Structure 1
Amino acid sequence: MKIKKFFAIFVYICFFTALFAEDLTARFIATQAAKKDSVEESVEYLKTQIAKINIPAEKRAAYVFLASLQEQLSLFDDAQKSYAKAAGIAAGNAEGMPEKTNEQIVLDAIRCTLSCGDYEKADSYLNSAVRNSKNQVVQEYIKLYTQWSALCKADTVEQIAEPVAVLDAYSKVDSMRHVQPAILLTLWYVTGDKKYSEKIIEKFPSSIESSIVKGDAQLLPTPFWFFVPKSGEAEQGTGSFSVADEPEKNLPQTSDKKETVFTKWQLGLFKTENNAKLLADEVKSKGFDSFITTEKRASGTTYYIVLVNEDKSGNTAERLRSAGYDCYAVE
């Protein structure tokens, strides 16, 4: 009797455990993840919860959400793996989560592999079933990412000539209208030709690409953007948000200045020490005081961060950007 009773209790527990796992949704764990104190904690929480989801559509949506956070943290290799897992699940969209087709998820994976500088894996994704997509927008991104991959493979300025010519042709046709801002930004960045930045501001004034060329935003420091050979230096604007308020009349003026003094500027964050060293050495050869530090993320991955010390002139950031290096301040 005792054995039968124990077995009945065991079956009862297993039944309700399975029932709970089946009811666990992507929306629920995404909501709980958002309550964590940091994005890193959210990522670790999602990893533990996804394994408990049994419904394919919910698991797929959860992987997409996890990948988006990993991409936000510049964990591009982890992000592409999560996107790939999501794309490999034959299911539809989950209720209460962003809707995405598997083709769109594969494109997300390609973007992340290119951000890692891994053009071989990007090409493998590009040559998968997504290549046969009937969706016009998907086809536009495939063509764009194919040329990004070609740029990623280039070691010399001569080797970027062909993808630049193809992208220039794409920038003039209506059949590539959905990705034109990205095309123009790429052309501006690798050639330094102002006609491309002017076209971005004129045709797509509200785009993130327009913010970048104006100087209101910075390109994410990734291996793809740092190591693509450039035939010219793209000059960003000084920003459109830094307009000083006009002092009110009849109010006493003070000589106090609000100054934020930054001592270091971050140029890049890499998973490979050699890539970080290449950038640090290149920057040092141009007269900057560069060095490398490391940071271990909650995932266990160690990142190599390229930093430059501020010098006595106080205009290191301007000099870095004039030399073609995107940077942002760290305290």
Structure 2
Amino acid sequence: MKKSLISFFALSTILFSLSGQTKNTSAKSVIETAAKKSSLTESIKYLETSLSSVPENAEKRAVYAFLASVLEQQGLYEKAQKTFVQAASIQGSAASVVPGVPNKNSEELVIDAVRCALCAGDYSAAESYLNSAVRNSKDEKIIAYVKLYEQWSALCKAKSISDTKESIAMLKTYSGLDSMKLVRPSLLLTLWHLTGESQFSESLKKTYPKSMEASIVKGEIQTLPTPFWYFVPRNGVDLPEIAGLGEGSVSKAEKTSAQEKSASVSAAKTSSSEKSSSSAKGEKIVRQQLGLFRDEANARALCDRVAGKGFKAEITSEVRPSGTKYYLVVVNENSKGTIGEELRTAGFDCYPLFDD
């Protein structure tokens, strides 16, 4: 099931508009053809089936890396991490083989795999990648990401607020180091999320006003399910999309349940924009997801509350690579395609899930 969402951890932009023609089967021709498919699902299938026809290692590596990026954008994090690792394992030239598509070396691809592992809630895999050769990298950029993701991985394992203290101290130290400047927006967002201290959100808005991280703290974009952001214990203020739920009837317990949603980032959507974007891609919205929980009782509480407003809510479950079982609260789309708008009008935050 695809999600129409862009992960916060997806730091690289996927380019779908490439120019030029090639006579032989190459990374360039494969990616250009994939870019012309009517949906990302079709692009993924084409890339997967075309890999065997790309003979040169450098070009095969480029297709694997591009495929992994598309998988990440689709929220297929477990598959994306393995594909990034596959790309990293192939010996290839440092030169870009596809104009307009940035080439990445093995260390950068491993860092991408770490990010995807964290998105999937698989901190064990993330740590195994971090303990590979990237830890001894001479590249300052790689080392910055290793240090950031190392703390994110530690936070994934935290069971109480007290377990986050050491990571918070390290993140505060890192935020003041010139060597960590490249990842400073992520550091500040993490600190704001964990502590709720306005100094971090204000620093983001002042120093990085056009960044994705600044948009999050300003409530201009919303967050979506990946285990890291919402299952980490925190003292922070409600995230914008949670604070926006606020009906007078919402109890403290219900609000706490809502805070168990996990997150990656997407621009805030209206029902009409969802329908137009899905139509443009040839995709169909099949249901709206309202929450994702580790505790089934919390999922049931939200489900009952949604049902109390006249909606037919259901609970489904999924098991992440970490072995943790999560419970999702969903409402099926209606024939008019207006269920998302109706849910928001009733005070429920939601996002669309698409048919494959």
SS at match of 1:307: strand
**After superposition, where does 1:204-219 map in structure 2 within 5 Å?**
204-219=208-223
Look up the match of 1:233: 237
127-136 vs 91-100, which moves further: 91-100
Look up the match of 1:278: 294
Look up the match of 2:225: 221
Look up the match of 2:164: 160
User: Is the CA contact (8 Å cut-off) linking 2:293 and 2:328 kept in structure 1?
Assistant: no
Offset of residue 48 of structure 1: 0.5
Matched, 1:292 2:310: no
User: Is the CA contact (8 Å cut-off) linking 1:126 and 1:146 kept in structure 2?
Assistant: yes
Give the residue type in structure 1 aligned to 2:183.
V
Matched, 1:316 2:320: no
**After superposition, where does 1:36-51 map in structure 2 within 5 Å?**
36-51=37-52
TM-score, structure 2 normalization: 0.67
User: Is the CA contact (8 Å cut-off) linking 2:208 and 2:214 kept in structure 1?
Assistant: yes
User: Is the CA contact (8 Å cut-off) linking 1:103 and 1:130 kept in structure 2?
Assistant: yes
Q: Deviations over 1:178-212 (max 9, x none)?
A: 10100111111122222211111011001110111
Task: Please tell me whether Structure 1 or Structure 2 has the larger radius of gyration of its CA atoms.
Answer: 1
Q: 1:56 to 1:304 in 2, by over 3 A?
A: farther
Q: 1:313 to 1:44 in 2, by over 3 A?
A: closer
Once residues 91 and 150 of structure 1 are traced to their aligned partners in structure 2, the CA distance between those partners, rounded to angstroms, is 32
Offset of residue 24 of structure 1: 1.5
Following TM superposition, the consecutive aligned residue runs of length 4 or more in structure 1 with deviations greater than 6 angstroms are 308-313
Look up the match of 2:147: 143
Q: 1:260 to 1:142 in 2, by over 3 A?
A: closer
Give the total of aligned pairs: 267
Give the residue type in structure 1 aligned to 2:173.
A
Once residues 205 and 61 of structure 1 are traced to their aligned partners in structure 2, the CA distance between those partners, rounded to angstroms, is 33
Offset of residue 316 of structure 1: 2.6
Matched, 1:114 2:130: no
Give the residue type in structure 1 aligned to 2:186.
A
User: Is the CA contact (8 Å cut-off) linking 1:267 and 1:307 kept in structure 2?
Assistant: yes
Offset of residue 292 of structure 1: 2.8
Look up the match of 2:8: none
Look up the match of 1:27: 28
TM-score, structure 1 normalization: 0.72
By relative contact order (CA 8 Å, sep 6+), the higher-ranking structure is 2
Q: 1:72 to 1:304 in 2, by over 3 A?
A: farther
Gaps of 5+ in 1: 1-21, 239-258, 269-275, 296-302, 318-326
Look up the match of 1:15: none
Q: 1:208 to 1:215 in 2, by over 3 A?
A: same
Look up the match of 2:132: 128
77-86 vs 286-295, which moves further: 286-295
Look up the match of 2:97: 94
Q: 1:279 to 1:233 in 2, by over 3 A?
A: farther
CA RMSD of aligned residues (A): 3.1
Once residues 307 and 279 of structure 1 are traced to their aligned partners in structure 2, the CA distance between those partners, rounded to angstroms, is 15
Offset of residue 330 of structure 1: 6.8
User: Is the CA contact (8 Å cut-off) linking 1:280 and 1:291 kept in structure 2?
Assistant: no
Once residues 95 and 283 of structure 1 are traced to their aligned partners in structure 2, the CA distance between those partners, rounded to angstroms, is 46
Identity %: 44
Give the residue type in structure 2 aligned to 1:315.
G
Offset of residue 220 of structure 1: 3.5
Give the residue type in structure 1 aligned to 2:97.
A
Give the residue type in structure 2 aligned to 1:316.
F
Give the residue type in structure 1 aligned to 2:177.
V
Q: 1:292 to 1:167 in 2, by over 3 A?
A: same
Gaps of 5+ in 2: 1-22, 243-269, 275-286, 307-312, 319-325, 332-338
